[in-house]
Structure formats: C-alpha cells, structure tokens
C-alpha cells in the first residue's frame, strides 16, 4: 500500500501488516510533518502481532531519530571546545599581560639602621625583592631615601638588586671598601641581576654619611624592572 504525506506529497510504500490501528500517526521524513493516516478498508487480522513496519523508518513517529542524538553530541563537543579556547585565551592573557605587570614585584624584609664600621658610621638598608609576576626580569633597580625627624629628605641612593651584603659584612669594612664592593657588583655579569619568576634577590644600599644620627625614617621603591 502507498501512503502520501499531505504536506510535501512524498509517497511511502508500506506493508499491510505495518498498520496496527485504523488510525496510524506518522511523521514525514522529508518535511517532518506529522499526520494521521486513516485506513478506509478493513484491517487484516493474521492472528498474531504484526511484523515490524517495512517502510522507511523515518515515516513512523514512534521511531527514534539517531540524527538528533548526534546533533546533541556535536553541540556538547563544540561547546566544550569553545569553553576550552576561552580558558586558554584567558590564561595566555594573564601570563603575558596582567600577571607580568610590575605590581607583582614587591619588596620584603626591609631593615634600615645606622651601623658602626671600622672608620665611622653608615646608614645601611637591606631587604629582598620578590618576583611574584609570571615573567622573569633582566634586573631590578631600587631607590632609597632617608628622612630626618621633620620628614625632610636628607639623601637618596639607587641600587641594583642582587648584592648579598649582610650586616656583619658592613661592620667589618671601611667606607672605601664598601664603595668598592658596590662598584664591583655593578660590573658583574648580567645573569647576576636576573630575577626569575617566583624567586627573590637580596639588596643592600649604603648611605656613606651617618648624618649625625638625624635619620629617623627611610623609604625604598622599585623604579625599574624590565622583562627578560
């Protein structure tokens, strides 16, 4: 028997035993139109349940359409790929821009004090620079300033991070020796000044004059830390 879709007029060949009731609900595989086929003639009763319908499987509404499952799976895969790409793009942006900014380079464990040496006194500031950013730095330049009780700046000095100068080292030296040690350090090879990410470098800043005990406070700041 021939069944025709009332919407797009596509015809389907259907075996007699495929109809279970006089009014069979069907769906056209071409246009998706759902309709009820009304059988005008008598139903054949074979005495047993009819065999599986022989026409195109897409003509029966009750049959599952595997294409929809594949479409849902493809949608999930595409969505996961887009989400992964966004996460990766965000990570790359963080590493190369936000996480590499200078605000992640910080100074810790800073101590400043007047120290007696072999031929007088100096004001000695020491501490460490910590690289919490996502990129290594070629070098770090610091600026230190000392102030009197009224907040007047007495002097300022610039220094490269990486000089491992301890309090005991300073106490055992003369002013000329300290100045030579700082000058020699500035001529060190470039890897000496590199601050890797997640690492720290010590620094020591010497003010040769004691200012007669007038130093009451000090500041340190990072003025330059270019990316490697």
Q: Tell me if 130 sits within 8 A of 102, measured CB to CB.
A: no
Q: Tell me if 208 sits within 8 A of 122, measured CB to CB.
A: yes
What's the rounded Cα separation, in Å, for the pair 140 and 192? Answer: 11
Summarised one tens digit per residue, pLDDT across range 116-160 is 999 999 999 999 999 999 999 999 999 999 999 999 999 999 999
DSSP letter string, 163-215? ----HHHHHTS-HHHHHHHHHHHHTS-GGGG-B-TT-EEEEEEEES--GGG--
- Residues pairing with 224 in the sheet: 141
Q: Whole-structure pTM over 0.85, yes or no?
A: no
- Residues pairing with 157 in the sheet: 144
The winner for highest mean pLDDT among 42-46, 79-83, 86-90, 165-169 is 165-169
Phi, psi of 2 (to 5 degrees): -110, 130
What's the rounded Cα separation, in Å, for the pair 149 and 76? Answer: 68
Cα 132 from chain centre: 14
Query: CB under 8 Å to 170, separation ≥6 — which residues?
Result: 115, 117, 122, 124, 178, 204, 206
Summarised one tens digit per residue, pLDDT across range 5-15 is 888 888 888 77
Summarised one tens digit per residue, pLDDT across range 76-128 is 888 888 888 888 888 787 777 777 888 899 999 999 999 999 999 999 999 99
What is the pLDDT at residue 73?
85
How does residue 62 score in pLDDT terms, banded at 50, 70 and 90? very low
């Amino acid at each position: 028997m021939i069944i025709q879709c009332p919407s797009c007029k596509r015809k389907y060949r259907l075996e007699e035993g495929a109809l279970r009731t006089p009014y069979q609900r069907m769906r056209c595989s071409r246009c998706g139109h759902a309709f009820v086929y009304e059988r005008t003639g008598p139903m054949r009763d074979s005495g047993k349940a009819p065999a599986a319908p022989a026409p195109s499987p897409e003509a029966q509404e009750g049959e599952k359409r595997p294409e929809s499952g594949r479409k849902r799976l493809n949608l999930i895969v595409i969505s996961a790929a887009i989400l992964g790409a966004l996460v990766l793009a965000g990570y790359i942006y963080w590493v190369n821009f936000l996480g590499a900014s200078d605000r992640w380079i910080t100074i810790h464990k800073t101590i400043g004090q007047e120290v007696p040496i072999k031929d007088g006194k100096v004001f000695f500031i020491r501490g460490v620079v910590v690289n919490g950013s996502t990129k290594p730095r070629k070098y770090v330049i610091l600026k230190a300033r000392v102030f009197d009780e009224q907040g007047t700046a007495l002097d300022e000095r610039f220094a490269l991070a990486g000089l491992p100068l301890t309090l005991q080292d300073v106490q055992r030296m003369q002013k000329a020796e300290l100045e030579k040690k700082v000058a020699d350090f500035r001529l060190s090879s470039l890897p000496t000044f590199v601050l890797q990410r997640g690492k720290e470098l010590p620094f020591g800043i010497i003010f040769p004059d004691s200012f007669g005990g007038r130093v009451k406070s000090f500041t340190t700041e990072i003025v330059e830390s270019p990316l490697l």
